[in-house]
Amino acid sequence: MTLEERIAQVKENIARAAREAGRAPEEVTLVAATKVQSSDTIRQAIAGGITVCGENRVQEMTAHLDDDAYAGAALHFIGHLQTNKVRQVVGRVDSPWRSRRPPVPMCGCGGGWPFPPLWSNRGEIDLFLQKCISFMLT
């Protein structure tokens, strides 16, 4: 099965699952994780219908950006972003995602914003937070 056929199959599975859940398939965004993929493979995936790529390694992301591998797709940074690498991501991706376990205490909950003030004066950005709201103790 070719990459394009696998992408089409994943999209069909997403559409079926969305309809079964009573949602429109257009409400679901497929984010293709590009971790450890070559620039050529990323280009092939975009040509095959991928519209959003996700990368979780700053060094790979910057190399692929320099190689123009993400052309034609939105780019999200997914996963944990180390504070010392924030400057390399801000302004180069469409949406940085932030995930930490245990959950990051946010303002009003006894904590503060986990990034340094470099976000200010850079315009607005979309930021996705993943927060675990339940714990299973074993």
First to last CA, the chain: 41
pLDDT tens, residue by residue, 16-41: 998 999 999 998 888 999 989 999 99
**DSSP code of 25?**
G
| Greatest extent of the chain over all pairs of C-alpha atoms, in Å | 51
Tell me the pLDDT tens digit for each residue of 86-138.
888 877 888 655 444 333 333 333 344 444 434 444 455 555 555 455 555 55
CATH of domain 31-130: 3.20.20.10
Q: DSSP 3-state assignment of 130?
A: strand
Mean pLDDT, range 56-65, rounded to an integer: 93
What single string gives the DSSP state of each residue in 62-122? Answer: HHHHHTTTTTTSEEEE-S---GGGHHHHTTTSSEEEEE-SSPPPPTTTT---SS-GGGTTS
Confidence band (pLDDT; 50, 70, 90) for 84? confident
